[in-house]
C-alpha cells in the first residue's frame, strides 16, 4: 500500500480535493492508472509534465519506478532551472 | 573539507581544462565567430513602444532595396494555437515562444521583434530596417508588478484568465496563475508563536549578464535540410523549439552547438534562431544574426522582479512553528515567471510544521523573463532569510544557531510534499560557525550577514557515447554545451571508470545528429545526469574490454577483472596469462570483434538537493550610502566535487551575481515604458575590482543516487547572497532595507530618515 500526498491545488483539480490517498500498487504506473480510474483525467495531468517524488527522491520518469510497501508518493510541478 | 583518504584516482582532482588553450588563444568558436560561403546578415526591427497593436506592416520598400535578400514578419511563421503541451522536461506553450520571437498582432514591450531582414551586408540590412513601415495603435502599458495585478490595469492578453482559482474568472487578467502550497495548519501554528516577524520585500528584475550576446547562423538547403549553429544552453532545445515554431521535422533540423560565453539560464530559449531559419529559407542563403548588447537587454529575458510578503513565527527558544509567504513575480510579456519554484523553495531550508506559500505569475510590458540560476529561489530566500535575521535579533539568538535549531535534515518534510533525502544543510551551518570568518572582529560601520539557500537540482534525459581509439585513447561525446566545466568533469569520470590517464580522454560535445537526446544544460543537472550517462557508457566499455580479454585468453568473461585500466586474471586463476592493458586490447580490437564503443541514454532521477550558507561582511559609508563588500565566504554541500576548481568557480560566480542583484542591478524605465539603461555602463554588474576574493568551503555529503556522489552545484550559490548582503548592511548600519537593490541613493535615503 502506497500513500499519495497531494497539494491542495492539485487535489482540487484532479481528485475532488482528496489530499491523502492510499493506493494498492507496486509500481508508479499502476498507481497512476488506479488513480485515473478513480479520478478520470488524473493520468493526463501527470503526462503534461509532473515530477514524482517517491520516498523523498525526485523522478522525471515515474512510470518505471517501483513502489515498496509504505512508499510515499508526491506529485510536484515539473522543475527546470537555470 | 573533503575526502580524508583518497578513494579515487581522478575524481576530486584539479585537471587542466580541455577547452582552456582554445579560449585563451582566441581560437574557440563562439556563436558570432561562425561563417559560411555566401553568408548574409540578418537584423531585427524592434518595437519602440511598450505596448501597441500592430495595424499594418509594409515591407515593400525594404524588400526592394538593393542587397536585401529576404524580409520576414509573423506572417512567415505558423500561427500556433495557445496550448500547454509536454515539452522537453516541463510543459510549454509554443505560441508564447513564437510570439516572443516575432510579434503577432501586438507588441508587448520595447524591443519586441516586429520584422527581420537579411541582406548582403550589415549596412544594407540596417538601411532596410528603416524602410519598413509599421503602423501602431498605441496602448496603455504597465511595468510594475503590483500595478499589473490591479483590476483596471492595461491588459496584455485578452485571452488570459487566471489559472488556479475557482470558479474560473469571467474576466481576463494579467495574473496568469495562482499557485498554493500548504503544510500543516499555519493559523494554528501562528496561534502558538511567541514571536512573529511580518515584513514586505521587493526585488528587481535582473539580467543574467552573459558576456556573449545571442548569436547564430542558419542555413536551409534547397531540399529543406536545415542546419543551425548557435550559442545556447541546449542544441536539442534549439532544435525542439525551432522545429515546433516553424513546423520542421526534427530529422530535417540539425543544430550544432557553438562555444558558449555564459548563459546562467538566459540561453534556455530561442530568440534569433527561428528568425534566421525563416530568413535563410526565404533567401536561399546562410544567415548570421548577432544581438547587440542593447538588444540583449531590451529583448532577452531577465529573471523576474518580485513583491513578497513574509510572516514567520517561533517560540521564544527559537523553534519555528509557522511560516507564510505570498509572492508575485512579474513574468514579462508572456506567462512563465518562476513563481512556483519560488513558493516551493521559500521555506525549504527549515523544518517548519505549518507553512503556506501563495504565488502569482503576472505579465507586464517588459521582456519575457527567462531562467536565471535557481529561478525564483533567490527572491524568496531574500525575504525569508531577511525575516529570519530579524527574528534572531528579536530573540537575541545567534543567527547560525537559529538556523541550526530549525535546519532541514534527512526526513524533514518539505512544504512542497516529500521528505528530504540525505542532505548536507546542517553541515554547511556547522562549517560556517567554525569558519574563522565568522569569528573575526568587525569595526565601526561594518556588519556581518549570514543567509542560507536551497535548490532542488534536477536530473533528466542525457546521453553519452564513449569511443576507444586504436592507441588506447578515448573520446567521450555528450549532448550538453559546456558552460561550467562539464567537459573536464566528463573526462574525469570516464578516466576514473576506465582506469586510464585523464589526458587520454578527450571530451566532445555532439550536435543533434551525432549524439542521443540530451535535455539542456541547466538546473544544475549536467555533472549529475550526463555524468551518470558517461559512467554507464564507461562501464559498458569496461564490460566489452573484459570480454575482449576473455576472447584473447580463451576464458569466460567472469574470469577477467578490470583494474586500473588493465585486464587481470580473476583471483584464483594461476595459469600463465599476462595482463592486458586497455591500449593492448584496443590495438587488437579488429581481431576480437571490431571497434570498442559504449553508450548510454537515461532519464536520471535522484538528483540530490543542494544547500548553501553564506557569510558576508560589509562596510557602509554613512555619508554616501555606498556599501563595500569586505569579505565573503560561500559554504555549500556539493555532494562530491568531481573537479574542485570548477565547483569553486560556480560558488564564486553565483555569489558575485547575487551581490550585484543585492546592491546595484535594476532596470530603469521612463514613463513611456522604455528601458533607459540597456548597457553594462548603466546597468551596473559587479566587476572584479568591486569584490573581494570570494572564499569557498566545499562540504561533501555524497548523493547516493550518483556513482560518485554528485549533487548539482551551479544554482545554490546565487540563492543566499541577496539576504546575506542585506543582513550585513542592516547589522552594519542599523537600518534594514527590504527593497532591492540597496544602491547608494536608496541606502542613503534610509539612513537619513
pLDDT tens-place string over residues B202-238: 999 999 999 999 999 999 999 999 999 999 999 999 9
Maximum CA pair distance of chain A? 38
pLDDT at B4 over 50: no
- What per-residue confidence (pLDDT) applies to B2? 41
Which has the closest alpha carbon to B340: B390, B304, B312, B313? Answer: B304
Q: In Å, how far are B612, B649, B719 from B700, measured between CA atoms? A: 12, 16, 19
Cα B227 from chain centre: 25
Separation in Å, CA of A15 to nearest CA in chain B = 15
Cβ within 8 Å, pair A49-B87: yes
Using CA atoms, how far apart are residues B378 and B453, in angstroms rounded to an integer? 8
Give the mean model confidence (pLDDT) for residues B452-467.
97
Are the C-beta atoms of B305 and B329 separated by less than 8 Å?
A: yes
Average pLDDT, chain B: 96
Sequence-distant (≥ 6) Cβ neighbours of residue B441 within 8 angstroms: none
- What per-residue confidence (pLDDT) applies to B3? 42
The residue written with cell numbers 542587397 in the block is B67
Cβ within 8 Å, pair B417-A5: yes
Q: What percent of chain B has pLDDT over 90?
A: 96
Sequence-distant (≥ 6) Cβ neighbours of residue A30 within 8 angstroms: none
Cβ within 8 Å, pair A81-B715: yes
Host H or E run for residue B55 = strand B52-58
To 5 degrees, how large is the angle CA B687–CA B688–CA B689? Answer: 95
- What per-residue confidence (pLDDT) applies to A9? 85
Using CA atoms, how far apart are residues B369 and B481, in angstroms rounded to an integer? 22
Which has the closest alpha carbon to B722: B403, B386, B324? Answer: B386
- Give B418's contacts in chain A (Cβ within 8 Å): 5, 53, 55-58, 72, 74, 76
Closest chain A CA to residue B233: A82
- What per-residue confidence (pLDDT) applies to B523? 94
Using CA atoms, how far apart are residues B485 and B651, in angstroms rounded to an integer? 13
Using CA atoms, how far apart are residues B304 and B572, in angstroms rounded to an integer? 64
Are the C-beta atoms of B457 and B528 separated by less than 8 Å?
A: yes
From the list B418, B605, B607, the residue facing A61 with the nearest CB is: B605
Separation in Å, CA of A77 to nearest CA in chain B = 8
Cα B651 from chain centre: 14
- Give A58's contacts in chain B (Cβ within 8 Å): 418, 456, 458-459, 605-607
pLDDT at B389 over 70: yes
Cα B331 from chain centre: 16
From the list A48, A55, A61, the residue facing B603 with the nearest CB is: A61
- Give A47's contacts in chain B (Cβ within 8 Å): 86
Residue B517: strand, helix, or coil = coil
Closest chain A CA to residue B412: A56
Give the mean model confidence (pLDDT) for residues B377-392.
98
Which tens digits make up the pLDDT trace of B570-612?
876 666 678 999 999 999 999 999 999 999 999 999 999 999 9
Pairing of strands A72-77, A2-5: parallel
From the list B84, B417, B460, the residue facing A48 with the nearest CB is: B84
Give the mean model confidence (pLDDT) for residues B299-318.
97
The pTM of this model reads 0.97
Which tens digits make up the pLDDT trace of A11-34?
988 999 999 999 999 999 999 999
One DSSP character per residue, B216-260 reads EEEEE-TTS-EEEEE--S-HHHHHHHHHHHHT--GGGEEEEEPB-
Give the mean model confidence (pLDDT) for residues B249-269.
97
From the list A6, A7, A78, the residue facing B91 with the nearest CB is: A78
Closest chain A CA to residue B373: A82
Cβ within 8 Å, pair B417-A79: no
- What per-residue confidence (pLDDT) applies to B733? 98
Cβ within 8 Å, pair B419-A56: yes
Separation in Å, CA of B360 to nearest CA in chain A = 13
Closest chain A CA to residue B376: A81
Amino acid at each position: 500500500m502506497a500513500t499519495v500526498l497531494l497539494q491542495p491545488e492539485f487535489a482540487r483539480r484532479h481528485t475532488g480535493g482528496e489530499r491523502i490517498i492510499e493506493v494498492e500498487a507496486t509500481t508508479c504506473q499502476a498507481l497512476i492508472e488506479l488513480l485515473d480510474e478513480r479520478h478520470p483525467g488524473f493520468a493526463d495531468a501527470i503526462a503534461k509534465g509532473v515530477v514524482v517524488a517517491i520516498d523523498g527522491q525526485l523522478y522525471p520518469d515515474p512510470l518505471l519506478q517501483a513502489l515498496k510497501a509504505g512508499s510515499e508518493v508526491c506529485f510536484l510541478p515539473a522543475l527546470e532551472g537555470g | 573539507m573533503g575526502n580524508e583518504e583518497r578513494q579515487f584516482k581522478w575524481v576530486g582532482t584539479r585537471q587542466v581544462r580541455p577547452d582552456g588553450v582554445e579560449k585563451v588563444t582566441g581560437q574557440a568558436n563562439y556563436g558570432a565567430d561562425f561563417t559560411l560561403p555566401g553568408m548574409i546578415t540578418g537584423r531585427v526591427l524592434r518595437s519602440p513602444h511598450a505596448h501597441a497593436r500592430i495595424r499594418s506592416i509594409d515591407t515593400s520598400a525594404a524588400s526592394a532595396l538593393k542587397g536585401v535578400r529576404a524580409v520576414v514578419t509573423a506572417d512567415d511563421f505558423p500561427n500556433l494555437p495557445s496550448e500547454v503541451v509536454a515539452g522537453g522536461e516541463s510543459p510549454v506553450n509554443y505560441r508564447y515562444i513564437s510570439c516572443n520571437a516575432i510579434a503577432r498582432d501586438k507588441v508587448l514591450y520595447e524591443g519586441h521583434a516586429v520584422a527581420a531582414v537579411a541582406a548582403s551586408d550589415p549596412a544594407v540590412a540596417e538601411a532596410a530596417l528603416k524602410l519598413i513601415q509599421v503602423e501602431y495603435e498605441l496602448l496603455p502599458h504597465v511595468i510594475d508588478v503590483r500595478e499589473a495585478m490591479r483590476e483596471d490595469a492595461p491588459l496584455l492578453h485578452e485571452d488570459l484568465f487566471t489559472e488556479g482559482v475557482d470558479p474560473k474568472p469571467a474576466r481576463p487578467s494579467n495574473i496568469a496563475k495562482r499557485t498554493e502550497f500548504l503544510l500543516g495548519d499555519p493559523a494554528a501554528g501562528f496561534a502558538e508563536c511567541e514571536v512573529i516577524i511580518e515584513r514586505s520585500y521587493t526585488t528587481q528584475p535582473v539580467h543574467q549578464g552573459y558576456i556573449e550576446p545571442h548569436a547564430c547562423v542558419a542555413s536551409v538547403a534547397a531540399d529543406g535540410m536545415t542546419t543551425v549553429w548557435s550559442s545556447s544552453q541546449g542544441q536539442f532545445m534549439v532544435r525542439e523549439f525551432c522545429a515546433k515554431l516553424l513546423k520542421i521535422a526534427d530529422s530535417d533540423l540539425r543544430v550544432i552547438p557553438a562555444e558558449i560565453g555564459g548563459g546562467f539560464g538566459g540561453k534556455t530559449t530561442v530568440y534569433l534562431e527561428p528568425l534566421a531559419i525563416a530568413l535563410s529559407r526565404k533567401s536561399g542563403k546562410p544567415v548570421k544574426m548577432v544581438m547587440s548588447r542593447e538588444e540583449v537587454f531590451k529583448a532577452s529575458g531577465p529573471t523576474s522582479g518580485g513583491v513578497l510578503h513574509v510572516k514567520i513565527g517561533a517560540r521564544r527558544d527559537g523553534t519555528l512553528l509557522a511560516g507564510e509567504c505570498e509572492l508575485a513575480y512579474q513574468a514579462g510579456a508572456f506567462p512563465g515567471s518562476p513563481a512556483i519554484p519560488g513558493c516551493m523553495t521559500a521555506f525549504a531550508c527549515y523544518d517548519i510544521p505549518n507553512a503556506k506559500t501563495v504565488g502569482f505569475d503576472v505579465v507586464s510590458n517588459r521582456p519575457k523573463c527567462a531562467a536565471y540560476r535557481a529561478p525564483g529561489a533567490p527572491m524568496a530566500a531574500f525575504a525569508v532569510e531577511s525575516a529570519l535575521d530579524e527574528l534572531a535579533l528579536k530573540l537575541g539568538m545567534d543567527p547560525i544557531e537559529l538556523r541550526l535549531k530549525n535546519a532541514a535534515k534527512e526526513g524533514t518534510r518539505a512544504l512542497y510534499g516529500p521528505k528530504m533525502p540525505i542532505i548536507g544543510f546542517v553541515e554547511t551551518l556547522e562549517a560556517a560557525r567554525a569558519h574563522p570568518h565568522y569569528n573575526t572582529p568587525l569595526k565601526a560601520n561594518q556588519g556581518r550577514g549570514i543567509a542560507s539557500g536551497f535548490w532542488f537540482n534536477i536530473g533528466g534525459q542525457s546521453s553519452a557515447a564513449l569511443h576507444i581509439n586504436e592507441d588506447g585513447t578515448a573520446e567521450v561525446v555528450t549532448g550538453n554545451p559546456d558552460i561550467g566545466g562539464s567537459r573536464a568533469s566528463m573526462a574525469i569520470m570516464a578516466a576514473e571508470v576506465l582506469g586510464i590517464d585523464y589526458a587520454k580522454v578527450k571530451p566532445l560535445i555532439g550536435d543533434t545528429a551525432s549524439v542521443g537526446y540530451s535535455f539542456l544544460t541547466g538546473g544544475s543537472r549536467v555533472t549529475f545526469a550526463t555524468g551518470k550517462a558517461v559512467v554507464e557508457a564507461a562501464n559498458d566499455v569496461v564490460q566489452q574490454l573484459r570480454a575482449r580479454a576473455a576472447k584473447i585468453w580463451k576464458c569466460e568473461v567472469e574470469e577477467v577483472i578490470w583494474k586500473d585500466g588493465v585486464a587481470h586474471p580473476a583471483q584464483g586463476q594461476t595459469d600463465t596469462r599476462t595482463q592486458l592493458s586497455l591500449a593492448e586490447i584496443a590495438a587488437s580490437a579488429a581481431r576480437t570483434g571490431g571497434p570498442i564503443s559504449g553508450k548510454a541514454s537515461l532519464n536520471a532521477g535522484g538528483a540530490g538537493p543542494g544547500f548553501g550558507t553564506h557569510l558576508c561582511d560589509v562596510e557602509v559609508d554613512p555619508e554616501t550610502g555606498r556599501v563595500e563588500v569586505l569579505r565573503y565566504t560561500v559554504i555549500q554541500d556539493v555532494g562530491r566535487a568531481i573537479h574542485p576548481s570548477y565547483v569553486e568557480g560556480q560558488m564564486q560566480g553565483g555569489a558575485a551575481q547575487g551581490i550585484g542583484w543585492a546592491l546595484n542591478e535594476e532596470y530603469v524605465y521612463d514613463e513611456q515604458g522604455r528601458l533607459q539603461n540597456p548597457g553594462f555602463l548603466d546597468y551596473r554588474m559587479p566587476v572584479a575590482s568591486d569584490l573581494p576574493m570570494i572564499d569557498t568551503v566545499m562540504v561533501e555529503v555524497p548523493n547516493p543516487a550518483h556513482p560518485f556522489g554528485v549533487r548539482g552545484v551551479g544554482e545554490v550559490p546565487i540563492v543566499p547572497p541577496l539576504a546575506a548582503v542585506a543582513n550585513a548592511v542592516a547589522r552594519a548600519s542599523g537600518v534594514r532595507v527590504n527593497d532591492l537593490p540597496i544602491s547608494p541613493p536608496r541606502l542613503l535615503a534610509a539612513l537619513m530618515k
